[in-house]
Structure 1
Amino acid sequence: MEKDIFKLTIPSKPDYISVARLTSSSIANKIGFNIEDIDDIKVSIAEACINALDKTNQINIEFQIQEDKFIILVDNVTMYNKDDMKKEMELGILIIKSLMDEVNFSKKGVEMIKYIEDGNI
């Protein structure tokens, strides 16, 4: 299966995080995720966007639908050393890790993965 890719760029302002949440929700619903998984995805993308605020003028988000997984990439999300991390950022990262199936950090940002169960696509 060829992967479908959606790209979204929003201003780095809290008011626009809802656009990312709604976009992720719509895509996840189209894939066939249940309401609990959709809520997990919406919370995770909101936390990632909150983490990226004030690091750049815009937040770049990429959604990938692959055969067995839904991948969300958010630029400028960082995982700080515990000594440097604000409590809010630390909590946000813990929330993302607890809600998504797989979370990978890189210099570019974060990759959040939710696996698609058989029969969802």
Structure 2
Amino acid sequence: MATMHDTIELKIPAKPEFVSLGRLAVSGVASRIGFSFEAIEDLKIAISEAITNAVKHAFSEEDSGEIQITFSIYEDKLEVRVTDEGKSFDLEKRKAEIGPYEEESDADMLRVGGLGLFLIETLMDDVELHYEDGVSVVMTKYIEEKQVEGNAKIIST
């Protein structure tokens, strides 16, 4: 039996200027359910990377599509799904193009979104990629126990 959860959906144009809207949305949702400031910052970076990758790799200049962002709120976690309807890409090929991250290299020289998948995997507790009519990146962040206890105290008082 699936766990009950609330769902919030947002569709944005697949254009770079809408990445900030995804960041604002995840920030609002995550703070509403009690994530720490640090966890919210991680979520904002991860969603920025996922949307940026969708914008860059899914659509051509002439064909600007839509990106759907779905927030599934569970008792102990937030699941964020970023889906594009564009052409799929080869994950291993992308990882090879990105290459290993080296701290010594000048961060300013790295393209925005170039470390997308690596960064998302580092910041989130669980990451899945699905390929059905485009690419979906499903990112899961668990609410820490101490945060849950703190929320329970706030709610019960």
**TM-score (norm: length of structure 1):** 0.88
The aligned residue for residue 92 of structure 1 is: 116
List alignment gaps of at least 5 residues for structure 2.
60-64, 99-110, 153-157
User: Which structure 2 residues correspond to residues 6-21 of structure 1 after superposition, within 5 A?
Assistant: 6-21=8-23
Q: Which shifted more, 10-19 or 84-93?
A: 84-93
Over 3 Å counting, the alpha-carbon distance change for 1:45 and 1:68 in structure 2 is same
Letter in 2 for 1:117: E
Q: CA deviation at 1:81?
A: 2.0
Corresponding residue pairs, total: 121
Partner of 1:82: helix, strand, or coil? helix
- Structure number, greater radius of gyration: 2
1:74 to 2:82 alignment: yes
User: Residues 41-82 of structure 1: CA distance to partner in whole angstroms, max 9, x if unpaired?
Assistant: 000000000110152411001001011110000113856223
Unaligned runs of at least 5 residues, structure 1: none
Conserved 8 A contact 1:78-1:110: no
Identity of aligned residues (%): 38
Separation (CA, whole Å) in 2 of partners of 1:85 and 1:92: 13
Q: What's the offset of the Cα at 1:2?
A: 2.8
**Contact 1:52–1:78, Cα closer than 8 Å, also in 2:** no
- When residues 44 and 22 of structure 1 are mapped into structure 2, their CA distance, relative to the original with a 3 A threshold, is same
Code of the residue aligned with 2:10 in structure 1: it is L
RMSD of equivalent CA atoms: 2.2
- How far apart in 1 are the matches of 2:54 and 2:68? 10
**Bigger mean CA deviation after superposition, 43-52 or 106-115:** 106-115
In terms of fraction of residues, the more strand-rich structure is 1
Distance 2:115 2:94 in 1: 14
Shift of the 110–84 alpha-carbon distance from structure 1 to 2, 3 Å rule, reads closer
